[in-house]
Amino acid sequence: MATTKITIKSNSAIRIEGDFEIVDSEGKVYGLGGREVISLCRCGLTKNAPFCDGSHKENFTHEATAFDLPEKKV
């Protein structure tokens, strides 16, 4: 079983749970203050990017439904 679970929530953020770290484009680690669950923004409205602050309420719609990607091109 994976130590990290990522959930794409409908009309909401990406929820990450478990053992993980988040780094910026230069590899610098975000301080998560001991959190084991965080949400990343998908709507672009947050004031706390890349983390969700709930700004998407009533302003973002996307029904998250799992699907299979096509085979990887070689």
How do the domains of the chain map onto residue ranges?
Answer: 1-22+36-65
> How far apart are alpha carbons 1 and 60 in whole angstroms?
32
Correct CATH for 1-22+36-65 of 3.40.5.90, 3.30.450.20, 3.90.950.20, 3.50.50.60: 3.40.5.90
Q: What is the pLDDT of residues 16-73, one digit of tens each?
A: 999 999 999 999 999 999 999 999 999 999 999 999 999 998 888 999 999 999 999 9
The pair of three-digit structure tokens given for residue 67, joined into one six-digit string: 């699907």
Q: End-to-end distance of the chain based on CA atoms, in angstroms?
A: 28
Predicted TM-score (pTM) of the model is: 0.84
Residue 36 has what pLDDT? Answer: 95
Three-state SS string over the chain comes to CCCEEEEECCCCCEEEEECCCCECCCCCECCCCCCCEEEECCCCCCCCCCECCCCCCCCCCCCCCCCCCCCCCC
